[in-house]
Amino acid sequence: MRWSDVRQSYPNQWLVIEALEAHSQNDQRILDLIAVIETCLDGDKAFQSYRKLHQQYPLREFYFVNTDRLELDIRERQWLGIRRGYADQSPG
């Protein structure tokens, strides 16, 4: 589904969605194809469900959203620093 279809099918609802097809453009994540994973009563429940799914399936792209939004605005963050696994290794 596209975001406009999701909004029409699930008006005024909190959802956990998965990006099936997506791309990045100008530090923004554009979701081309979306699957609705779960409907939730409120934002807290949606966040809890999102966290659980993200822990179970860390390589899948989940989001929690409200269909009141006309457009999705998902910003990408550039992470700087050392990853924990690499910090423990000393050279030499």
What are the tens digits of pLDDT across the range 5-58? 999 999 999 999 999 999 999 999 999 999 999 999 999 999 999 999 999 999
Query: What is this structure's pTM?
Result: 0.81
Check residues 54 and 89 and name the one with the higher pLDDT.
54
DSSP state string for the chain: --HHHHHHHSTT-EEEEEEEEEEEETTEEEEEEEEEEEEESSHHHHHHHHHHHHHH-TTS-EEEEETT-SS--EE-----S--HHHHTPPP-
Decide if pLDDT at 91 tops 60.
no
Decide if pLDDT at 90 tops 90.
no
Residue 78: pLDDT band with limits 50, 70, 90: confident
